[in-house]
Amino acid sequence: MARTISVSEAKNAFSAVLDWAVNNNEAVIIDVRGKPKGVVLPYSQYIEYEALKEQVKPQENMSVQ
């Protein structure tokens, strides 16, 4: 499960946040005033995300017609 931290925590310990995400192979959600604003992902998860986006694009184009 993804971990959520405040933007100030992320700012003060970014290297540790990145290490945690990579070592646990999980996302870290960054929130600002209690609202999610960004995510730190291990690079391997980012690559998977990009591949999935590319798979969805052709399907979206077909449904628009």
Confidence tier at 64 by pLDDT (50, 70, 90)? low
pLDDT reported for residue 10: 97
CB 37 within 8 A of CB 31: yes
Residue-wise pLDDT for 14-50, tens only, equals 999 999 999 999 999 999 999 999 999 999 999 999 9
CB 21 within 8 A of CB 40: yes
CB 25 within 8 A of CB 46: no
Contacts of residue 28, Cβ cutoff 8 Å, sequence gap at least 6: 2, 3, 4, 5, 10, 17, 20, 21, 39, 40
Domains, the chain, in order of start with CATH, read 3-64 (3.40.1620.10)
pLDDT reported for residue 59: 72
